Amino acid sequence: MLLAKNIKKKIDGREILKDISFSLESGQIISIIGPSGSGKTTFLKAISLIDLPDSGSLKIDNNDYQFPVADASKIKYPYPNLTVVFQQFFIWPHLTIRDNLTLALRGNIDQKHFDEVVGLFQMTEFLDRYPNEVSLGQRQRAALARALMLKPQYLLLDEVTSALDIEQSHLILSHLRSIAEKGVGIVFVSHALHLASKISDKVIFIDEGKIVEEGTSEILKNPKTDRLRKFINIADQIG
Ligand X SMILES: Nc1ncnc2c1ncn2[C@@H]1O[C@H](COP(=O)(O)OP(=O)(O)OP(=O)(O)O)[C@@H](O)[C@H]1O
Residue 36 partner contact from ligand X, Mg ion, none using kind-dependent CB cut-offs of 5 to 8 Å? ligand X
Contact flag: residue 16 with ligand X (CB under 6 A): yes
> Which lies closer to Mg ion via its Cβ, residue 43 or residue 114?
43
Pick the piece of the chain touching ligand X (CB under 6 A) from 36-44, 64-72, 100-108, 169-177: 36-44
Closest distance to ligand X from the beta carbon of 228 (Å): 15
Closest distance to Mg ion from the beta carbon of 39 (Å): 8
E strand spans, 61-162:
63-67, 82-85, 154-158
> Cβ of 198: how many Cβ atoms within 10 Å?
16
Q: Which residues bind Mg ion (CB under 5 A)?
A: 40-41
Give 3's contacts (C-beta < 8 A, 6+ positions apart): 22, 23, 24, 58, 59
Contact flag: residue 9 with ligand X (CB under 6 A): no
Contact flag: residue 161 with ligand X (CB under 6 A): no
Closest distance to Mg ion from the beta carbon of 158 (Å): 6
CA angle 195, 210, 36 (to 5 degrees): 50
Please give the Cα distance from 48 to 4 (Å, whole number): 11
Please give the Cα distance from 219 to 156 (Å, whole number): 22
Contact flag: residue 36 with ligand X (CB under 6 A): yes
Closest distance to Mg ion from the beta carbon of 41 (Å): 3
Give 158's contacts (C-beta < 8 A, 6+ positions apart): 40, 41, 44, 84, 85, 86, 87, 189
Binding ligand X (rule: CB under 6 A), the pick from 31, 41, 138, 153 is 41
Contact flag: residue 12 with ligand X (CB under 6 A): yes
Binding ligand X (rule: CB under 6 A), the pick from 24, 39, 96, 164 is 39
Contact flag: residue 40 with ligand X (CB under 6 A): yes
What does the CA dihedral 179, 184, 190, 192 come to, rounded to 10 degrees?
A: 40
Could you give phi then psi for residue 214, rounded to 5 degrees? -150, 155
> Which lies closer to ligand X via its Cβ, residue 28 or residue 38?
38
Please give the Cα distance from 32 to 40 (Å, whole number): 7
Q: List contacts with ligand X (CB under 6 A).
A: 11-12, 16, 34, 36-42
